[in-house]
Structure formats: C-alpha cells, structure tokens
Amino acid sequence: MVAGTFRKIRRDLAFRHGRRLRQLNYWLVARVAMGLMAMLRLLPVDSALNFADRVARLAGPWSGRHQVAIDNLRAAYPEKTDAEIQAIAADMWGNMARLAAEYIFLDALFDFDPKATNPGRIEVRGIDHFVEIAGEQKPHIVFTGHLGNFELLPVAAATFGMNITALFRPPNNPYLADYILSTRRSAMGGLLPSVAGASFALATILENGGNIGVLVDQKFSNGLETTFFGRPCQSNRILGTLARHFDCDVYPARCIRLPGNRFRLEIEDKLALPRGEDGTVDVHGTTQLLNDVVERWVREDPGQWMWFHKRWEMSGRRRKRRPDAQAKAA
C-alpha cells in the first residue's frame, strides 16, 4: 500500500517536472535557432545561404538523425558505395540548412517576373497550369514532397492569382512552430495545420470550389500500406479520399534547387487517377501513384530530399493488411 503510494507520487513528479524540462528545452532550442536566423539576416543573401550550407555539412553527421538517413539511403540505393551515400547525406544537410535560412529571405529570393528579359533566381515551368487552375471555378488538389525549397510553391501560386490553402505539419517545438507559422503566413497565404479535424477543413475548402496543397511523402501511422523505393510504408489516404469524393483534378508540383541559389518551380500535367469498375477514384491506387511520382522526383535529385524521416517505419500492431492478403490467408 505504502510502496504503491510512493510509486504513484514518483510518477506524478516525473510527469510534472519532465513536462517542464521538455518545455524548457523547446524554448532554449527555439531561442538558439531564432538567434542564428537573426545573425544570418545581417549577411547578404548568398553569403548567408552558403554559410548555412557549409555549417550544416559539418554539423549534420553529428546529429542523431544522420544514421537514420544513412540507413534509409543504403536501403534505397544498395548499389551505391559508402562514399556516394555519404555525399548524398551531406547534400541533404546542406539543403536542409538552406531551407531553414531561406525562410528569412523569401521576399528577396522570389523574384519571378514573367515579363523579365533576364533570368532571376526563380524559373517556372507549367505556367499554363497555374493560370488554368486560377481561372477555373472548381476545386483542385496540388501535391508535392519535401524537395528543394517546397515553401516557394505557394508563393508562386499566389503570383499567378491562384488561391490555395496548404496543409502542413507544424514542428513538435511549439515555439518554433509559432515562428514558422507567422513567417509562412506573411508570404504564403492560407495555411492549415495538420491536426485533428484538418481533413474536414480541407473538404470544406474543396466543397466551396477552393484549392488545396498537400505534402504527401511523410510516414502516416495507420495509413494505407503502400511502397516507396520498393519498400513497404504507410501513407496518408486523405488526398485519394478527397479526390474520390469531389472528383477533382490532381496536379503534381515540385521545387528543384539549382546552382547559384536559384530554383526551378514545376507544375506537371494533371494525373490520370486510377479508377474502379464503377468509375470512382481508387483511393489505394491513387495513394500509391503519389508515392511513385515523389520517388521519381527523389531519384532525380536525391540530395534534395529529407532522408532522415522515418518514412519506412511501420506501425507494427496497427499495420493494416490489404484485402487481397486477407483473402489469401482465408
């Protein structure tokens, strides 16, 4: 009885103080990150981005996530040497640092002018699609992955008069989340945090004829069982479900980082979504198709993707079996 009481008190204290320590850690990390951002802001754009890249290439391999990236790369590219794997990981850390630093220079970086005779930092391919989507009075879905500076895509959409609400997953650090959200909203327009009820909010936007943007390359617990780089993974069904319900066009879009702190923004032709015998969109087939598109992009520019995500981590006991597998088991 007494021992049980003491155990309960110890658990309560650990929970209470552990939560405070976690919040303190979040606050300290956010202060350091924002301090570094403020320092970078004092430098010219190119100098700041190049400096961030160099530092990240040195510091990244000391991160706990570096081994996750290396393991993922080795599984995805068994034919590559250790030197090639390490080079891709170094490019990944450089890309991540540039992405973080570019938050404070978005206005300076996005200099696209369709009437300009001399090329700037931004080039856009698929302008006709941007204009078409902006002019059509019906819902559309645009999807992308964590490649290059994907944050520039909604800025480009706004440039062409395309009203779009982007779904995003905020960082676990609440202080960084507030900072990033305020920075994004000032430059990108509508943003919707990926929290409980977000799918209903997206459905409402589409129902009203709006457009949504979705990142589709992260792990999703209890998601549909799909493959990515030939390995099983779980993927969010939300885009496929919304596409089936509203029967709307789905466009792939990506950002490619170019030399000299330049970018190419591309929106590709709308996808021909797989459909069932009744003509409705096949949710599982569509979800796999999205993975295939992102895989194609990553294979073209592997150093521009976030390999430290635990993309292939399955939810074990919660893993869903495909209907055909269940039928075979029966």
Residue 282, domain member (yes or no): yes
Burial class from Cβ neighbours inside 10 Å (0-12, 13-18, 19+) for residue 8 reads: exposed
Does a structural domain hold residue 31? Answer: yes
* Cα–Cα distance, 277 to 99 (Å, whole number): 43
* Residue 82: C-alpha distances to residues 54, 129, 245, 306 (Å): 21, 41, 46, 18
Residues 26 and 138 in one domain: no
pLDDT below 50 — which residues of the chain? 2, 6, 9, 13, 317-330
CB atoms near residue 271 (< 10 Å)? 17
Q: Examine the domain organization and report whether 129 and 17 are in the same domain.
A: no
Q: Is residue 53 part of a domain?
A: no
Token pair 């895989």 is found at 295
- Please give the pLDDT value at position 267: 96
* DSSP symbol at 246: H
Confidence (pLDDT) at 187: 57
Per-residue model confidence (pLDDT) at position 254:
97
Number of domains in the chain: 2
30 and 154 in a single domain? The answer is no
- For the chain, what percent of residues have pLDDT higher than 70? 83
- The SS3 call for residue 12 is helix
Q: Are residues 231 and 124 in the same domain?
A: yes
Residues 285 and 140 in one domain: yes
25 and 157 both lie in a single domain? no
- Residue in 246, 243, 245 with CA at minimum distance from that of residue 209: 246
Pair (38, 146) in one structural domain: no
Residues 148 and 288 in one domain: yes
Rg (CA), the chain: 22
> 37 and 123: one domain?
no
Question: Are residues 2 and 125 located together in one domain of the fold?
Answer: no
Whether 27 maps to a domain, the answer reads yes
Does 255 map to a domain? yes
Asked whether residue 287 is domain-assigned, the answer is: yes
DSSP 50-115: HHHHHHHHHHGGGSTHHHHHHHHHHHH-TTS-HHHHHHHHHHHHHHHHHHHHHGGGHHHH----TT
Q: Is the Cα dihedral 294, 206, 133, 195 positive or negative?
A: negative
The residue range of the domain holding 29 is: 1-42
The pLDDT tens digits for 46-75 are 999 999 999 999 999 998 899 999 999 999
The answer as to whether 67 is a domain residue is: no
